[in-house]
A = this chain, B = another copy of it.
Amino acid sequence: MANSASKSPQSQRNPEGDIRPNERSHDTRSRILAAAGPVFAAQGYAGATVREICSAAGVNIASVGYHFGDKLGLYREVIHALRVARAKRFPTPNTDLQKPQETLQALVHTLLARMLITEEAAWETELLMREMQNPTPVFESIVEEFFRPLFNQLTETLQLLVKSELPTHTVQHLAFSTVGQCLYYRVGAQAIQVLIPEWQRDAHYDIESLAQHITAVMLSACENFTTPRR
């Protein structure tokens, strides 16, 4: 990977950080940005080619070098744009006023919704999953921005549910149990497709049913974890 910090076009952002209406440049630049996301998600960073991206965007191959320095620079901007869009679409729900049981249910539902999204933005989740298995230099910031807040909300909620004082690591394990169950319905989707016949998946593998199930599992665990076992 090269430096990705080479020369950029002269009028890219104004001091306020906003995009200048430099129409011609802005157009091809945003077209590349829009086309790159799905390609990176489908092929992975290494597998995606700038030719395919530029072809999908309908721009010249050299444009990515001119506007983003190099391939890695483009990838960074894609991740940046993804974070902005994602923060807008999935706002961290304010759950301080609810009962912890309802908060847990809401968090599980949000997690599953992010995992099983099939809309036009499915490539975002796909890209995040690829980052988990093949981390690029941007992975750590992704964890801090996306995973840490939800993880903290989860641990705080679970802390309320187990009533008694449990060691920190036990509550964290409970949080990972919750996340793991949600994540599996995407990570293991290909396996589930083989293991479970289609008519059964159609009936019982929607977000609502899965959220109900996972929440029930974790609430049961929290009740029993109030008195330290063994």
Chain A residues within 8 Å of B, Cβ to Cβ: 44, 46-47, 129-130, 132-135, 139-140, 143-144, 147-148, 151, 168-170, 172-174, 176-177, 179-185, 187-188, 190-192, 194-196, 200, 203-204, 210, 213-214, 216-221, 223-225, 229
Q: Which of B132, B143, B185, B220 contacts A187 (CB 8 A)?
A: B132
A164, chain B: closest CB distance, angstroms = 15
Residues of chain B within 8 A of A224, CB atoms compared: 216, 219-220, 223
Contact of A195 with B151 at beta-carbon distance under 8 Å, contacts A183-B187, A190-B139, A224-B220 already known: yes
Q: Which of B135, B143, B180, B217 contacts A174 (CB 8 A)?
A: B217
Q: Which of B46, B204, B221 contacts A47 (CB 8 A)?
A: B46
Residues of chain B within 8 A of A185, CB atoms compared: 176, 180
Contact of A213 with B140 at beta-carbon distance under 8 Å, contacts A132-B188, A183-B188 already known: no
Interface of A is mostly: helix
Q: Which of A140, A172, A195, A219 has the most CB of B within 10 A?
A: A195
A217's nearest neighbour on chain B, judged by CB, is B221
A158, chain B: closest CB distance, angstroms = 11
A203's nearest neighbour on chain B, judged by CB, is B169
Complex Cα spacing A217 to B225, Å: 8
Complex Cα spacing A192 to B47, Å: 26
Residues of chain B within 8 A of A187, CB atoms compared: 132-133, 180, 183, 187
A141's nearest neighbour on chain B, judged by CB, is B194
Contact of A184 with B194 at beta-carbon distance under 8 Å, contacts A173-B213, A213-B173, A224-B220 already known: no
Residues of chain B within 8 A of A182, CB atoms compared: 180
A185, chain B: closest CB distance, angstroms = 7
A172's nearest neighbour on chain B, judged by CB, is B196
Q: Which of B139, B200, B218, B220 contacts A225 (CB 8 A)?
A: B220
A169 touches B220 (CB 8 A): no
A183's nearest neighbour on chain B, judged by CB, is B184
